[in-house]
Amino acid sequence: MTKLSVNINKIATLRNARGGNNPDVVKVALDAEKFGSQGITVHPRPDERHITYDDVMKLKDVVTTEFNIEGYPDKRFMEIIRITKPAQATLVPDPPHVLTSNTGWDTIAHQEELKDIIAELHEYGTRTSIFINPEPKYFEPAKLTGTDRVELYTEPYATNYHKNKQSAVKPYVEVARLAKELGLGLNAGHDLDLDNLKFLKESIPFLDEVSIGHALICDALYYGLENTIQMYRRQLEED
């Protein structure tokens, strides 16, 4: 079964636009779990433009599904993981000024650095995942870092899905098989939505988890959060 982790960054963005605590990030996380989310994902950036340090500290005490914290593994991020000890830490290579994650790790150039970071995260009892492009050359070096999983960066898939979905998914199927052969768990995320999610799941039936935020929150404006989460869950069900 492929789990759905709901990224609640956009809820925090909406709150921060006005100040105060509406919408309440903690309440939304709890409601998302109640509505069927199997995990909660946050990406606390240094400028706190959406999820804040305080949000993470509050969420660590209430999230009962899998808490997944994404981020660039600088000193601040590592301290957050040490304190919160989430179920999973997803390492992304983007520097603080980047608007959103836009590429995966070069696991060849950063192999030794990632190995040290992952060893530290494992000391905290946290499962690790590395954000990675669908290029075979990065997968064996990823395995050598000691990571538990990799997360496929799916923006190229989403961009090309409506042009030719078979062509769009082909490199992902190839690297997914490679990841499985290497014994790496497999996550996916970025620009997945109600149009393209089911086909990705059908093409890679052994996906462990997808993390979805922007599209899901946008859909919730029309369908409601509970209904939207159930709609996404249905895309991941086995036929």
Name the catalytic one among 66, 70, 151, 209: 70
Angstrom distance (rounded) from CA 190 to CA 212: 7
| Residue 122 annotated to the active site | no
- CA-based angle 125:128:132, to the nearest 5? 175
User: How many alpha carbons fall within 13 Å on the CB side of residue 92?
Assistant: 23
Q: How many helices (H) and strands (E) does the chain have?
A: 11, 8
User: How many alpha carbons fall within 13 Å on the CB side of residue 103?
Assistant: 9
The type of residue at 54 is D
Tokens 């836009």 belong to 102
| Residue 70 annotated to the active site | yes
Name the catalytic one among 33, 43, 50, 209: 43
| Residue 79 annotated to the active site | no
Name the catalytic one among 50, 66, 151, 190: 190
Q: Kind of pairing, strands 209-212 and 185-189? A: parallel
Task: Tell me the catalytic residues.
Answer: 43, 70, 190
